[in-house]
Structures are given as C-alpha cells and as structure tokens.
Amino acid sequence: MSKPVILLGSGGHARVLLDMLRRLGVEVLGVVDPNRLAGSEYLGVNILGDDSAIWAYPADSVELVNGIGSLPRDAGLRAALFEKCRAQGYRFRTLIDPHAFTATDVVLAEGVQLMAGVIIQSGAEIAENCIVNSGAIVEHDCRIGCDVHIAPGAVLSGGVELGDKVHIGTGATIIQGIRIGSGSVIGAGSVVTRDVGCSRIVYPARSLVQDLQQD
C-alpha cells in the first residue's frame, strides 16, 4: 500500500504539489513549515510544526514530498533539506503528474517531481530531488544530475547532460548534445548552442543586444 506523505513547505511550489497529491489520491498527513503556526491549517491540511515535527513519525511509516521551490538564489535550501531528511532515514516520494508523459524506459530517481504537461522521452535519466516543471520537455537520452530545476516551458534536446544543481530558466532551449556543468544557471529564454562550464551564468542573447544598443 502507498504510504501517507508529509509535505515540506507551504509556498507556491508546495501548493501545486498539494493539488497533484490530491488528484493522485495520496493521503497527506500534514505540512511542516517553520514560518507557520503548529495546529493551524494550510489549504485544508494541518500544519504539524517546523521540520523537527517530521521526527515524530517513524521513517518507515511515511514518505516525504519536498515542497521547497528552487530558484538560483536559494536552490541550496531544497537540497539541504533533502539531504538532512535522508540522513535520518526518511525517503522522498517520486511524483508524476497524471498529465505528464514519460517513455517506458525513463529512469527517475528518488524525489523527482514531474509537473503537468511535462514530456520525458526514451532513454532519459533524472537523478534525485529534481523538478521538471510545467510543460518542460526532456528529449531522448538526456542525463540530469541531482537537485536540478528545469523551469516551465524549457526544452532539452536529445543527449543533453546537466550537472548537479543546475537551473534551466523558463522557456530556455538547450540544443542536442550540450553539456552544462554543475551549479550553472541558464537564464529564462536563453538558447544554448555550446557547452557551459561549472558555476556559470548564461543570459539570453537578446538581452545582451539590448544592453549594447543603450551604450
């Protein structure tokens, strides 16, 4: 039988996940959030307290859902919470929205979240604690590292490789065979046509053109 879940966080990403969990028929025991009062409610679900409230539940009796969003400025918070709970023996549920498509041989690691409208094609592999957000496309044979966020509407063509903690911005396009190093940020709307090293920031070309015209 499916275990009940505890949702971590109560921001925008958590709200979307809560809706998905309800549509999937998953029992949600409660929400943990240090910024909300224990015993109050969030969208009809009990606030259990801060993160320490998780430890009241045996690790083999529940699964966790990481509702912390992932933006370039605070991506470390989501990853740190994942690792903290894993170290205590807890496990995270992998979630696939009913309106996402995954090919039959796709490999999804623990805690991956595929949102509505996502397409994951044959041969793709996605590592732990990743978000593939609404309407994003991951084409055949892509390799995605841990703690990656592929934002809404982004497209990864075939054979793309992303290192750990990469952020692909909304509507960005990565052409086939590109490698992007760990910790890099690809800005919204960017078109990436060559490899990107680690801890780099790539801005859309049109933004650079606008800046030159103003000088």
Asked if the model's pLDDT at residue 98 lies above 90, the reply is: yes
132: β partners = 114, 150
Mean pLDDT, residues 175-181: 97
Residue written as tokens 């709307």? Answer: 189
Asked if the model's pLDDT at residue 213 lies above 60, the reply is: no
Asked if the model's pLDDT at residue 17 lies above 50, the reply is: yes
Structural domains in the chain, CATH included, are 5-87 (3.40.50.20), 94-203 (2.160.10.10)
Apex CA 113: angle with CA 109 and CA 13, to 5°? 145
| Cβ(67)–Cβ(113) below 8 Å | no
Q: pLDDT tens digit string along 119-155?
A: 999 999 999 999 999 999 999 999 999 999 999 999 9
- Rounded distance between C-alpha atoms, residue 123 and residue 31, angstroms: 35
Per-chain mean pLDDT for the chain:
93
- Rounded distance between C-alpha atoms, residue 153 and residue 146, angstroms: 20
Nearest to residue 107, comparing CAs of 85, 138, 86? 138
Asked if the model's pLDDT at residue 203 lies above 90, the reply is: no
Query: What is the pTM (predicted TM-score) of this model?
Result: 0.92
Mean pLDDT, residues 39-64: 95
Mean pLDDT, residues 194-198: 95
- Rounded distance between C-alpha atoms, residue 28 and residue 15, angstroms: 12
Nearest to residue 5, comparing CAs of 49, 45, 52, 50? 45
Contacts 24+ apart (CB under 8 A), 128-136: 128/82, 128/92, 129/66, 129/78, 129/79, 129/82, 129/92, 131/13, 131/69, 131/70, 136/168
Mean pLDDT, residues 55-72: 93
pLDDT of residue 215: 43
| Cβ(167)–Cβ(186) below 8 Å | yes
Amino acid at 176: Q
Asked if the model's pLDDT at residue 206 lies above 60, the reply is: no
The secondary structure of residue 73, as a DSSP letter, is T
Q: What φ, ψ does residue 176 adopt, rounded to 5°?
A: -60, 140
Amino acid at 95: L
pLDDT of residue 76: 84
| Cβ(22)–Cβ(44) below 8 Å | no
Asked if the model's pLDDT at residue 214 lies above 80, the reply is: no
